[in-house]
Structure 1
């Protein structure tokens, strides 16, 4: 059932009901990320007009017992099928880190199938798709080194990663996500035809602003780079300047105007 792929989604397709947000912002998680990362976004991104829908991948949250994906192509193929019933109103994609690549590939697959396209794509905390991930490959690290890598990025609370049961639950999906990232090759072909907004933290060791700016080459539409104070997870809890920027870019992409 497609609803298992989403958190915060109005599961009944069709015209928005009275009081239901008319816009959908599908949020694609970082490696090992779950839907809780986006909980506060629902309060801070104008909830009366933006429905924040977090993508829930196998191997986490309510899908903990499902085997995680390890390659981009089957993930995108299945995700597009889950999205099909929920493209019935204006929508946008927001992807952070690995999620930016998944969102980008999902948009390409929608176009190939002649399905509705997002009004814009937010690519956060990731170098452009044509910039390869440098070795060593993270998914090949030992468990201890993989944990150290995540801790160095401030990706999860240290106390959670130091608990054996938490590690046992987290590591399989985390390693699988890094395997997707390490083996990813971007789609060749036409550029996207809608706005792309590239976001970066000014102290992000994985995606310097100059690397994030390379997303300009992915679209023939409008493009902007925004740089925020912080590390790789500068956007945690949707700080005010970040939330304001997202809403401004949604308006520029004509999302709010179209919905009204």
Structure 2
């Protein structure tokens, strides 16, 4: 049975490791479509499609972390067991952390490592940016200002009408997030940041180290908040490939 939560780019039945990718606020699984072509054949890119986008456009949106993390964990547990590394960008980093926490004791599905990009450590809590309260036009302008949305989108009301509900819900999800104290993960955590990212400080990225008893690394790459899909993308994928192949 097809798992509506997970899209494979492309399916690789013979893969030795699964890279489970979580998009940032308002983004869809498609942001990772090209990664399958750029990563080695041993890696299956499995991107999470959250409700409200793509083929799940009409499904109810999540605005609270716990229900989302619980339902996503259930979806992952329904998959065949395969060594898995979780990668998250922006809000996806925190979702990935909550997912890793829920899977930590699951035989066959506990992740091997967590990779976070462009978001402060969960223990620091919400970034306290109430963008979900803005009007449609103001919210769209924020997305353009952050760098992840082309300015031409502002002139296309039909596109905004489809995209803004999921963007608004994701900002509410981030705004309402409250970290719950728990034991640190035992798996390695790798963190990446953009040198020109104005949404998160390097010290806030470094704070991820408190969430693991295992190895920790922090790498800063050229680019803004959307560096994983910008010019630094190939460098990120090269580093990620080296880390992945060490896990199998």
TM-score range, shorter chain: over 0.9
**TM-score normalised by L of structure 2:** 0.93
Superposed CA deviations along residues 9-36 of structure 1, whole A, max 9, x for unmatched, are 788xxxx74xx22211010110011111
Q: Which residue of 1 aligns with 2:247?
A: 255
Contact 2:86 2:111 in 1 (8 A): yes
Q: Which has the higher contact order (CA 8 A, sep 6+)?
A: 1
Contact 1:125 1:207 in 2 (8 A): yes
Provide closer, same or farther for how the CA distance between residues 136 and 27 of structure 1 changes in structure 2, counting only shifts above 3 A.
closer
Provide closer, same or farther for how the CA distance between residues 141 and 67 of structure 1 changes in structure 2, counting only shifts above 3 A.
same
Provide closer, same or farther for how the CA distance between residues 2 and 218 of structure 1 changes in structure 2, counting only shifts above 3 A.
farther
1:159 is the counterpart of 2:152? yes
Tell me the distance in 2 between the aligned counterparts of 1:99 and 1:134.
14
Unaligned runs of 5+ in 2: none
Q: CA deviation at 1:87?
A: 5.0
The structure 2 residue matched to 1:130, chosen from 117, 123, 129, is 123
1:193 is the counterpart of 2:195? no
Unaligned runs of 5+ in 1: none
Provide closer, same or farther for how the CA distance between residues 107 and 87 of structure 1 changes in structure 2, counting only shifts above 3 A.
farther
Q: Which residue of 1 aligns with 2:20?
A: 26
Q: Which residue of 1 aligns with 2:37?
A: 43
Contact 1:105 1:186 in 2 (8 A): no
Q: CA deviation at 1:245?
A: 0.8
Q: Which residue of 1 aligns with 2:174?
A: 181
Q: Helix, strand or coil: the match of 1:31?
A: coil
Q: CA deviation at 1:218?
A: 0.4
**TM-score normalised by L of structure 1:** 0.89
